[in-house]
Amino acid sequence: MHKLRAFYQANNFPITTFKKYFKYSTVSELIMDVVLPTILSSLLIFYASYSIDSLSDLISKFQQVSGQVISAISILAGFNIASITVLSTINGGPTGILKRKKSTDGSSNLYDMLICFFSWAVIIQLIVVLFSILLYYIGSFIPEGFKDLYVPRWTWLIAIAWMSITIHSVFLSIRNMKTLYLYVTYDPKKENEANKENQSE
């Protein structure tokens, strides 16, 4: 039991990062990052289902798309890793402010929350790449007798899940790009001027 607990603690970083991401995200962010990708994925798969009559058709379409997804998501993962590097090397500017400000429950500071969002983006993008590789590999070795079968419902659910986390990872990178832009273009003079205007009002 102790070994299992030690194994879990040594490898639970993706789980703990997801919990922090879910905890620190606002409702609007979760709608944009989770709900909207799920809706879009469901609509896309529903639309695609009209042109897919057999399991072999679905496998063929998936293999056409998965290669492009792997390339694109790998680039996004590289962007988020580079962003973490940039954030960790900037000592002045907003870094000190974010480290001093605590979250609502006081369990973390805003800087750690920011790194958490970028870390989760990298994790989910690597999961998408791994998931795509595994599905591509499995689809390449499905017996011929199964390929002409009607597409089972659980296969559509897998397709929706895969598409959802793929779009989710893209939306995360878009939000992270905005965050990185605001971070590196931070100007304390403008903030001081804004604070003075608010106080005068």
Q: What is the pLDDT of residues 46-69, one digit of tens each?
A: 998 888 877 778 888 888 888 888
Can you tell me the distance from the alpha carbon of 4 to that of 169, in angstroms, rounded to the nearest whole number? Answer: 30
Q: What is the pLDDT of residues 131-149, one digit of tens each?
A: 888 888 887 777 777 667 7
Q: What is the DSSP letter of 102?
A: B
Count of residues making up the chain: 201
Can you tell me the distance from the alpha carbon of 122 to that of 127, in angstroms, rounded to the nearest whole number? Answer: 9
Look at residue 189 and tell me whether its pLDDT is greater than 90.
Answer: no
DSSP secondary structure letters along 159-200: HHHHHHHHHHHHHHHHHHHHHHHHHHT--HHHHHHHHHHHHH
Q: What is the pTM assigned to this prediction? A: 0.83
Tell me the CA end-to-end span of the chain in Å, nearest whole number: 62
- Name beta bridge partners: 109: 102
> pLDDT at position 188, please?
66
Can you tell me the distance from the alpha carbon of 136 to that of 59, in angstroms, rounded to the nearest whole number? Answer: 8
Look at residue 121 and tell me whether its pLDDT is greater than 80.
Answer: yes
- Residue 45, classed as helix, strand or coil, is helix
Are the CB atoms for 60 and 153 separated by under 8 Å?
Answer: no
Averaged pLDDT, 100-118:
80
pLDDT tier for residue 166 given thresholds of 50, 70 and 90:
very high
